């Protein structure tokens, strides 16, 4: 799978606990190996750079627990609606701007809890025909199991089931882990895995994000 000639913009910052810069370095390398021209920014002001956004085929936000200005958000959402794709993971995309419901609307979900913190759980592939998940089997993770508020319009590709060991009232709850959707003309991909960069040592987790980025990138 290659996307030679396409341009990706990775925007890394916010809470350091999710290792935004380590994750940016990891997936910048993945994208470059796949033929993307990659730019890494450490400021949300890059969303105000109209020339950069116009030339970008894929935006990868890696930015947890922060705030985004109205101008930055409007530019980002308008760029996606016009056809630039967006793809991300964990809190770097689904816990970025807690006060921005329009951003959450675009993402298709928002983190609210990870009962038990770092635990063992299983990811179930629920759609084996989609190119993002084709050929991948269910797999184990040792990390945060994200409980999210999710949009029912999402096209869900993988899920996880909560045991109830840490929060008995959600026992048996089936929660989306991977989904895709659209925002205007743009494609949106999200994966809840990836608390820290080493989570992507799990081959399936890394490959899901890799394929999701390719899918989201503008044709």
Measured N-to-C along each axis, helices 203-216 and 20-33 cross at an angle, to the nearest 10 degrees, of 70
Cα separation, 27 vs 194, whole angstroms? 12
Task: Look at residue 190 and tell me if it is in a domain.
Answer: yes
Write down the residue that tokens 């080493």 correspond to. Answer: 198
Report helix, strand or coil for 95: coil
Cα separation, 212 vs 78, whole angstroms? 21
Does 126 score more than 90 pLDDT? Answer: yes
pLDDT value at position 74?
Answer: 98
Write out the residue range of the structural domain in which residue 96 sits.
Answer: 7-216
Mean pLDDT of 1-8: 82
Residues forming beta bridges with residue 174, ordered by sequence position:
161
- Model confidence pLDDT, tens digit, residues 50-68: 999 999 999 999 999 999 9
Please give the share of the chain, as a percent, with pLDDT higher than 90: 97
Cα separation, 174 vs 120, whole angstroms? 16
What CATH number should be reported for the domain holding residue 134? 3.40.50.880
Task: Look at residue 98 and tell me if it is in a domain.
Answer: yes
Residues forming beta bridges with residue 39, ordered by sequence position:
9
Task: Look at residue 1 and tell me if it is in a domain.
Answer: no
Task: Look at residue 2 and tell me if it is in a domain.
Answer: no
Q: How confident is the model at residue 158 (pLDDT cuts 50, 70, 90)?
A: very high
Q: CA-CA-CA-CA torsion for 37, 63, 154, 106, nearest 10 degrees?
A: -90
Mean pLDDT of 157-175: 98
Q: How many domains does the chain have?
A: 1
Mean pLDDT of 28-42: 98
pLDDT value at position 121?
Answer: 98
Distances (CA, A) of 42 to 34, 36, 38, 192: 23, 19, 13, 22
Please give the share of the chain, as a percent, with pLDDT higher than 70: 99
Task: Look at residue 13 and tell me if it is in a domain.
Answer: yes
Cα separation, 154 vs 181, whole angstroms? 5
Task: Look at residue 185 and tell me if it is in a domain.
Answer: yes
pLDDT value at position 3?
Answer: 73
The alpha helices in the chain, defined as continuous H runs, are 20-33, 50-54, 70-81, 90-94, 101-107, 203-216
Does 1 score more than 90 pLDDT? Answer: no
pLDDT value at position 4?
Answer: 67
Task: Look at residue 39 and tell me if it is in a domain.
Answer: yes
């Amino acid at each position: 799978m290659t996307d030679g000639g396409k341009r990706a913009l990775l925007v890394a910052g916010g809470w350091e606990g999710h290792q935004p810069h380590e994750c940016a370095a990891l997936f910048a390398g993945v994208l470059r190996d796949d033929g993307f021209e990659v730019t890494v920014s450490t400021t949300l002001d890059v969303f105000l750079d109209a020339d950069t956004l116009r030339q970008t085929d894929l935006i990868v936000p890696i930015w947890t627990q922060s705030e985004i200005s109205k101008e930055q958000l409007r530019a980002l959402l308008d760029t996606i609606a016009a056809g630039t794709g967006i793809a991300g993971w964990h809190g770097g995309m689904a816990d970025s701007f807690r006060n921005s419901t329009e951003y959450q609307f675009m993402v298709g979900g928002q983190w609210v809890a990870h009962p038990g913190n770092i635990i063992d759980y299983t990811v179930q592939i629920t759609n084996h025909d989609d190119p993002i998940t084709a050929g991948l089997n269910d797999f184990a993770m040792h990390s945060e199991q994200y409980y999210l508020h999710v949009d029912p319009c999402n096209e869900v590709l993988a899920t996880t089931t909560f045991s109830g060991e840490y929060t008995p009232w959600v026992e048996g709850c089936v929660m989306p882990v991977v989904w895709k959707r659209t925002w205007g003309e743009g494609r949106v991909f999200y994966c809840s895995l990836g608390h820290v960069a080493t989570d992507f040592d799990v081959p399936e987790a890394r490959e899901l994000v890799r394929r999701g980025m390719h899918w989201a990138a503008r044709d």
